Amino acid sequence: MTVDHRTPEDIECPSVELRARELAALLARSHNIPADVHRLPSGKIVISVYYGLVARLDDACRFWWIVPVSEERDRPLWTSAATPAAAAVRIADHYRELRTRPLAHLIHGGYLLTDVLLEHHEAAAPV
């Protein structure tokens, strides 16, 4: 596994959407994993990879996603990567792990793109 020790400040970010598309392209080209890039109403960018595997980009162009629950860990864990290449390698590992699980289990307990969309719509809803 590759460990990226750079901080977001070390990396110049040309465009959040460009970085997201770079990650999606790396997943497709290097790992044969389809991924979709979405712009939320809030302007934030997310990359939908699989049920329960959705990555986000923060304003510093750092990728964030939830690591699936495993036998060693009984709850999800947020993790991040500073570069598209590092994110692609780690997300590909999580994708392969999720593909071994029953889909019904993932839908019931996973963090889905719809959850991300609802968070952003609720945050923007008038009080």
Domain extent, residue 104, equals 12-121
* 91 domain-assigned: yes
How many separate domains does the chain show? 1
**CATH, residue 28:** 3.90.1150
* 42 domain-assigned: yes
In order, the DSSP letters of the chain are: -------GGGS--S-HHHHHHHHHHHHHHHH----EEEE-TTS-EEEEEETTEEEEE-TT--EEEEEPP-SS-SS-EEEEESSHHHHHHHHHHHHHHHHTS-HHHHHHHS--HHHHHHHHHHHHS--
The pLDDT, as a whole number, for residue 97 is 85
* Average pLDDT, integer, range 83-92: 95
Poorest-confidence range of 9-13, 31-35, 79-83? Answer: 9-13
* 1 domain-assigned: no
* 6 domain-assigned: no
Q: Which two tokens stand for residue 52?
A: 């329960």
Q: Higher confidence at residue 41 or residue 106?
A: 41
* 4 domain-assigned: no
Instruction: Report pTM.
Output: 0.71
